């Protein structure tokens, strides 16, 4: 019983210490940090229907990360199925800090405003599968779901790739409620 009391007392002390000693940032500090980052969150995807016209089945990533820059280069093969009759065009998310050099398996494409608009090689019906490969490169921005640091003389790269941030280091359908199967 005495041991349980000491544990409860210890937990209460930790909670009080953390809440009163300034360990938690003030609201204005969080807002200042957020505004200092080099990216902004995209508009709500529900406003753009073009990303909901297909369902991603899988991604195949082949990436190279250059430690001195950091620069990411590689290819992403996306396999998807149509959710719309007569589907001939889709949109894929990719940060403007990254550049598309080629997309194989499509008619043509354009990349602007954080989106790649792709004219597919054919017209697809509901449930029909299609795939294409995007080759790209660029410098992902630290703080936009991708970070690089040097620790112990070696480069370290990491990512959270949470919704609305995967697009900052690889082409994808970056919508939280529709993930690859």
Contacts of 56 (CB under 8 A, 6+ apart): 78, 79, 80, 172, 173, 178, 179, 180, 181
pTM of the model: 0.69
Tell me: pLDDT of 168 over 60: yes
**What superfamily would CATH give domain 45-168?**
tricorn interacting facor f3 domain (2.60.40.1730)
Percent of the residues in the chain that have a pLDDT greater than 70, as a whole number: 61
Which segment of 76-85, 114-123, 145-154 scores lowest on mean pLDDT?
A: 145-154
Domain residue extents for the chain: 2-36, 45-168
Q: How far apart are CA 101 and CA 134, in angstroms?
A: 8
> How do residues 145-158 score in pLDDT, each as one tens digit?
566 676 777 766 66
Higher pLDDT, 177 or 37: 177
Tell me: pLDDT of 170 over 60: yes
> How do residues 42-75 score in pLDDT, each as one tens digit?
444 444 667 789 999 999 999 988 777 778 899 9
């Amino acid at each position: 019983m005495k041991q349980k009391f000491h544990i409860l007392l210890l937990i209460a002390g930790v909670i009080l210490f953390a809440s009163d000693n300034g360990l938690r940032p003030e609201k204005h500090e969080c807002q200042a940090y957020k505004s200092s980052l080099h990216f902004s969150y995209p508009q709500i995807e529900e406003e753009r229907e073009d990303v909901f016209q297909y369902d991603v089945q899988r991604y195949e990533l082949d990436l190279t990360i250059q430690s001195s820059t950091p620069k990411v280069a590689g290819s992403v093969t996306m396999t998807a199925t149509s959710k719309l009759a007569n589907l001939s065009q889709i949109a894929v998310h990719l940060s403007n800090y990254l550049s598309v050099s080629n997309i194989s398996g499509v008619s043509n494409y354009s990349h602007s405003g954080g989106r790649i608009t792709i004219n597919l090689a054919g017209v697809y019906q509901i449930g029909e599968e299609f795939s294409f490969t995007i080759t790209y490169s660029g410098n992902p921005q630290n703080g936009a779901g991708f970070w690089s640091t040097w620790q112990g003389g070696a480069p370290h790269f990491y990512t959270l790739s949470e919704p609305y941030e995967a697009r900052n280091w690889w082409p994808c359908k970056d919508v939280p409620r529709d993930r690859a199967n």
